[in-house]
Structure 1
Amino acid sequence: MAFAKWHDLDAVAVTNHDYYSQFDIDTGDVTVVPGIEISTTDGHVLIGPNPPARTTAGTLTPEEAIDIAHDRGCAAIVAHPFRNSSVRKLDLPFDAYEVNGKRSVAIEHLQQLANSNGLPLVGGSDAHYPFEVGRAYTEIEVDEITPESVVDAVQDGRVEYQLNESLSTRLIGRLYKLIHQYKGHTSG
């Protein structure tokens, strides 16, 4: 949580691939929004703040992930919509699209996607290591930050993505772009 505070973040959403684990650590003033990144048959969908404990990668359709999210009072967000994903091409009731902190696609493509579907963009660090927290984040219009108020703000469009433009973040972004190219991740 030290990196979240260093970037002046009031909350962090924690979304592991296909499982959720509750933290037993002191988060101080940082609100933790529980979540999960579901590996659907067509790409990744972020849901929270009341995620299932576990899903099996590649078995749920995006529609099923949305149903789980909305049945549990969660937001359903398309994660990195242009990286190894066709979820963005589906006409489904998602709540937002993610601007991924790894920046493997131009922001203009994400803005065009969001505008054409009338959905907001949210920022997500996609942090696999603590120093990556805060690469992209979301400003949220709420009176009090709670997991539930975050969902309401996302679903009402009272959110705005922000990008950390520091030199270290830009260098990490370039490194990830090379790594994704090397791994053969598609953006189609």
Structure 2
Amino acid sequence: MYAVDLHAHTRFFHGRRRLGDRFDPFGARLLAEATKRRGLSGVATTNHDYYTPLEPNVDVAVLPGIEITTDRGHVLVVGPDPPAETEPGVLTPGEAVDLAHERDCAAIVAHPYRNSTVRELEDVPFDAIEVNGKHPRSRPLVEELAAERGLPLVGGSDAHYPFEVGRAYTLVDVDVDADRLTPSALVDAIRDGQVSARISRSALDRLLRRGYRAIHRRKGVLEAMEGPTPGVGTPPGEEAER
């Protein structure tokens, strides 16, 4: 069993690509260190519309990925060979999924109730749907959506700062003869439904969520993410959101 954050970024700023490319290796090391401190076994680097190969980390698995900005919202692509770069807003969700599958990667609906209408598409062959760490109160809605589509749930923190890593993560139930999860084994586990989403309930995470709720309220996107009564659909052993 592996615990992996499937949605994280190596930089806390956007734009300024040249500066970002120089920063990314350092940002990846910070992510890996934060992942280790969280007690997780891996993290996927899913930067917005580009993927840069990174040096392996000795402590945790740093898994390849990209967050594609489609014309309907974001799609996470994780696996052994994600595309190096995509043009924001050009691909449709279906084209993003086709691209992922052509490259032996899994395609995941990212934060389906924030800045996205990807969830409305019923004929696109996604592999999973994300429970996003920035607004876990939407989980009952995401669970209902996943049940309707017959898709597994995965978890990702959507971390832009290292201290956010692990706020939501994925348990990957695979038995492989290796000390860490490989990208190909991750893809197989997602497609086989051998994954489940988890949300961290530490004091720091609850504090961060209150801050993000205030930010989302000001942006006017909170209502769509609230969903039913908090705590409904929470996995056994996990406390309700407070």
**Shorter-chain TM-score range:** over 0.9
Mapped contact 1:104–1:176 kept (Cα < 8 A): no
* In structure 1, C-alpha distance between the alignment counterparts of 2:133 and 2:126, rounded to whole Å: 20
User: Structure 1 residue 117 and structure 2 residue 153: aligned?
Assistant: no
Give the secondary structure class of the aligned counterpart of 2:91: coil
1:43 to 46, 66, 73: 73
Report if aligned partners of 1:82, 1:105 keep a CA contact under 8 Å in 2: no
Structural mapping, 1:81-100, within 5 Å: 81-91=112-122, 92-100=124-132
Q: 1:71 to 1:184 in 2, by over 3 A?
A: same
1:4-47 C-alpha deviation (Å, 9 max, x unpaired): 111111111110010112223x5222111100000000000000
> Hey, what does 1:146 align to over in structure 2?
182
1:28 aligns with 2:90: no
- Corresponding residue for 1:74? 105
Aligned to 2:210: 174
Distance (whole Å) between structure 2 residues aligned to residue 54 and residue 183 of structure 1: 28
Secondary structure of the residue aligned to 1:63 is helix
SS class of match (1:38): strand
8 Å contact from structure 2 (residues 136, 199) kept in 1: no
Q: Deviations over 1:38-67 (max 9, x none)?
A: 000000000022111111110000010000
Select the structure with the greater relative contact order (CA < 8 A; seq sep ≥ 6).
2
- 1:185 maps to which residue? 221
Q: Paired residue for 2:50?
A: 19
After TM superposition, the score normalised by the length of structure 2 is 0.74
For 1:70-100, what per-residue CA distance to the aligned partner results, in whole angstroms no more than 9, with x for missing partners? 0100000000000011100101110000000
Gaps of at least 5 residues in structure 1 are none
Q: SS at 2:75's partner residue?
A: strand
TM-score (norm 1): 0.95
Counterparts of 1:127-146 in structure 2 under 5 Å?
127-144=159-176, 145-146=181-182
Percent sequence identity is 55
Q: What do you get for the CA RMSD once the two structures are aligned? A: 1.4
Equivalent residue pairs, number: 187
Extract structure 1 runs of 4+ deviating beyond 6 A.
Answer: none
Q: In structure 1, how many angstroms separate the alpha carbons of the residues matched to 2:210 and 2:151?
A: 27
**Structure 2: runs of 5 or more not aligned:** 1-31, 226-242
